[in-house]
Structure 1
Amino acid sequence: MIEWLALSTVPKGPMLLCVPFAGAGPSAYRDWPDELPGIEVRAAYLPGRERRFREQPSRDIAALTADPQPLVELVEGRRYALFGHSFGALVAFELCRTARRHGLPAPEALLVSGCRAPDLPARQLTYDLPDDAFVRSLDDLGGTPPAVRANRELMELLLPTLRADFAAAQTYRFRAEPPVTTPITAFCGQDDPGVPVEDMTGWARHSHGEFDLQTLPGDHFFIAEHRTRIATAARAALFAPRPERRIETVASTPQHRAAGDRAGSAFPNSAREN
């Protein structure tokens, strides 16, 4: 189950729910409240990291996001947006769909960065490489602090969670549903070695709302230099005037099932639920 750690508190105010990248915990977003005054910032606490280190990390994004209860406790009566980077973007996307399946208010925005569109397969599989090769693949992406990378014992402790997160992202299979109505803003690093711009344009297929793609200088971890840009998009969504809250549902009528089938047919790499 996902837990949500409050990094700042704004009672009854708008919230930004952030999902970390592979191997990371809530501390990855500890400085983000500085960019978001008036917005409560919460970060996903996933099994296998920081104080949940002894828990088994999940290798299945669908299973990780299936329980709506953590969202129910947070979002009723509040405006919120979801943000995720890399592995976290797929988790945020599935949380958006979990909210819809269970009749919860839809987020004002889904903000994703450094991640292929959900219906696309991973460009490469690295999660099951031997340790040395897997660590070299992490080096190619950057993002691992030099002090951590130089500490062999620490790296050995972190590898199981990193492998689990990479397995979850790289083996993720999109399950066909109608696109969400939540607007999507996607952020891409110009020099990201693993996620080229064309892999991010596909996010447009997954929303009936507005879609915006912003390409920024940097590699896979460009968010370290551009969190202000992401915060600006979050503020714009959370403080935009809106007459009423949206509640989406995935109806079970034959018409809606047919609509879902038509949507799924646009995604040749998707896997349908049985």
Structure 2
Amino acid sequence: MTDSAEPTGPRERDAWLRVFHEAREGARPLVCFPHAGGTAGLYFPLSAALAPGVRTVAVQYPGRQDRCAEPVVEDVTLLADEIARLLAEAPSGPAPVLFGHSMGALVAFETAARLEHRHGATPAGLIVSGMQAPYRRPARCLPDGDDEAVLEALSALGGTDPAVLTHPELRAMILPALRGDVRAATAYRPGSCPSLLSCAITAWAGREDELAGADVRAWAEHTTAAFRTRHFAGGHFYLHGFPPPVVEAVRTALTHVTATPAPSPTRTRT
């Protein structure tokens, strides 16, 4: 991690924040956070579908693909510290909407909290997918070196081609990042930064996911603004490849979360 007092160079920013398609001047940024073991490239189809009206920015965590020589950050809050700093230093423009899936939802949430409470740069909205609200997460422990447990969990979620998990060389490539990310997600506990946001939150999940509806709805406790939920056909990785219904839901969510409705105790479920 870099010293926050030092200016961020283009190479550092480009390492963390990837833009795949050109967007119109003044387009609102949608900052996307991958799941455990995921990469920025997973959001390429969404970026293509939303351009040029939305400037999709995908986060590339250290320890994977072209950043494989860097150590994996095994702490959600440290990831959020760095990403929030980079976003806060971005040139002036529309406030971003943050969108995270699974572990990425936790990183997006902590990043939103830092932007608002530490940098005075409240995001326009937060979309969280496939994850319980922070205080509803059960305490879990991942034994050191238990790679098979990590792979079995990933396989059960249906997020990776089974052929990848049974190929020794491919397994060796993905395991370091996956192991570190799973440790970060299992060790995560909220509280290092104020967790009440003033931006709207939208929470999504797959209908066949194991997430309890109450755990998804509990995200409402983290905003003083509007809250919406939605369930999609499929399991934990219902958004894989970003089929048209999910893309349209993102467009709708961007409209909802940036409408800046007046704070209200009444939550809207769609």
TM-score band w.r.t. shorter chain? 0.7 to 0.9
In 1, Cα distance between equivalents of 2:187 and 2:39: 21
Matches within 5 A, 1:16-27: 16-27=30-41
Task: Find the counterpart in structure 1 of residue 207 from structure 2.
Answer: 190
Kept after mapping to 2: 8 A contact 1:26/1:45: yes
Structure 1 residues 3-44: Cα deviation after superposition (integer angstroms, max 9, x where no partner):
100122223321111001111111111111232131111100
Structure 1 residues 238-262: Cα deviation after superposition (integer angstroms, max 9, x where no partner):
4569799xxxxxxxxxxxxxxxxxx
Kept after mapping to 1: 8 A contact 2:29/2:97: yes
Give the aligned residue type for 1:190: R
Q: CA deviation at 1:147?
A: 3.2
Task: Find the counterpart in structure 2 of residue 266 from structure 1.
Answer: none
In 2, Cα distance between equivalents of 1:56 and 1:118: 25
Query: Which of 152, 175, 190 is 1:136 aligned to?
Result: 152
Q: Is 2:65 the counterpart of 1:40? A: no
Give the aligned residue type for 1:81: V
| TM-score, with structure 1 as normaliser | 0.80
Matches within 5 A, 1:64-213: 64-67=79-82, 68-74=84-90, 76-122=92-138, 124-126=140-142, 128=144, 130-175=146-191, 177=194, 179-193=196-210, 195-213=211-229
Task: Find the counterpart in structure 2 of residue 224 from structure 1.
Answer: 240
In 1, Cα distance between equivalents of 2:255 and 2:22: 17
Moved more, 149-158 or 125-134: 125-134
User: CA-atom RMSD, angstroms?
Assistant: 2.5
* Shift in alpha-carbon separation, 1:165–1:122, aligned structure 2, 3 A: farther
In 2, Cα distance between equivalents of 1:140 and 1:123: 20
Q: Which runs of 5+ in 1 are unaligned?
A: 245-274
In 1, Cα distance between equivalents of 2:126 and 2:48: 21
Identity across aligned pairs (percent)? 32
Task: Find the counterpart in structure 1 of residue 19 from structure 2.
Answer: 6
Give the aligned residue type for 1:8: H
In 2, Cα distance between equivalents of 1:186 and 1:239: 15
Kept after mapping to 1: 8 A contact 2:140/2:187: no
Kept after mapping to 1: 8 A contact 2:20/2:47: yes
Secondary structure at the aligned position of 2:98 is classed as: strand
Q: CA deviation at 1:110?
A: 0.4
In 1, Cα distance between equivalents of 2:71 and 2:257: 42
Moved more, 126-135 or 89-98: 126-135
Secondary structure at the aligned position of 2:89 is classed as: helix
* Shift in alpha-carbon separation, 1:130–1:50, aligned structure 2, 3 A: same
Secondary structure at the aligned position of 1:223 is classed as: coil
- Count of aligned residue pairs for this structure pair: 243
Kept after mapping to 2: 8 A contact 1:84/1:91: yes
Structure 1 residues 64-106: Cα deviation after superposition (integer angstroms, max 9, x where no partner):
1113431023363223211000000000001101111234432
In 2, Cα distance between equivalents of 1:73 and 1:150: 42
Task: Find the counterpart in structure 1 of residue 251 from structure 2.
Answer: 235
Task: Find the counterpart in structure 1 of residue 45 from structure 2.
Answer: 31
Structure 1 residues 42-61: Cα deviation after superposition (integer angstroms, max 9, x where no partner):
10011011110111111111
| TM-score, with structure 2 as normaliser | 0.81
Give the aligned residue type for 1:77: G
Kept after mapping to 2: 8 A contact 1:25/1:49: yes
Secondary structure at the aligned position of 2:30 is classed as: strand
